[in-house]
Amino acid sequence: MIATVLGSALLILGAGVILSAAIGLVRLPDLYTRTSAIGTAAGLGVAFMILGVVVLDFSWLNLLKGVIAIVAQLITSAIGSFALARSGYLTGSLPAAITVPDELADDAAAGAADSSPSDSAPTAGSANA
């Protein structure tokens, strides 16, 4: 009885986390906050749901599978959301106006100011040629 209630509560909690991310996907202002919401929901929501299933149908083998699935999900959701946000930035998707500071733009501007045409390629008379 306790396992049924706890497992069902974990499943409902996981579904609630994923539902909140779905709402955030519609309401959040830009790609970066949406990606953050989906990455978090994918990690936590699915982890709660897997835990719920393990509690409902407990065995040591299911527990091992559940732990492996949760670890894999947390790693891949974090990497996936980072990759989506980074590719969005590199293709020109601007952050919302409320995003301050834009550290990537600051780094790009500093990198462009530091490099000069003479730094990019050695000349014929230089020692490196």
Number of folded domains in the chain?
Answer: 1
| Continuous segment of H or E residues that includes residue 11 | helix 2-27
At residue 118, the pLDDT reads: 52
User: Does the residue 14 lie in any domain?
Assistant: yes
Provide the percentage of residues in the chain whose pLDDT is more than 90. Answer: 47
The whole-angstrom separation of Cα 94 and Cα 96 is: 7
**DSSP state letters, 81-95:** HHHHHHHHHHTT-PP
User: Does the residue 61 lie in any domain?
Assistant: yes
Q: Residue 25: which domain range?
A: 2-94
What are the backbone dihedrals phi and psi of residue 121, each rounded to the nearest 5 degrees, phi first? -145, 140
Please tell me whether the peptide bond between 101 and the residue prior to it is cis, using omega within 30 degrees of 0.
Answer: yes
User: Does the residue 85 lie in any domain?
Assistant: yes
According to the per-residue pLDDT averaged within each range, which of 5-9, 42-46, 76-80 is highest? Answer: 5-9
49-81: pLDDT as tens digits: 999 999 999 999 999 999 999 999 999 998 999
User: Does the residue 112 lie in any domain?
Assistant: no
- Higher confidence at residue 109 or residue 61? 61
At residue 53, the pLDDT reads: 96
User: Does the residue 53 lie in any domain?
Assistant: yes
Per-residue confidence at 47, pLDDT binned at 50, 70, 90? very high
User: Does the residue 114 lie in any domain?
Assistant: no
Which are the contacts of 42, defined by CB distance < 8 A and separation ≥ 6?
A: 21, 73, 77, 80, 81
User: Does the residue 123 lie in any domain?
Assistant: no
Q: What distances in angstroms separate CA 1 from CA 10, 19, 45, 68, one per listed residue? A: 14, 27, 23, 26
User: Does the residue 59 lie in any domain?
Assistant: yes
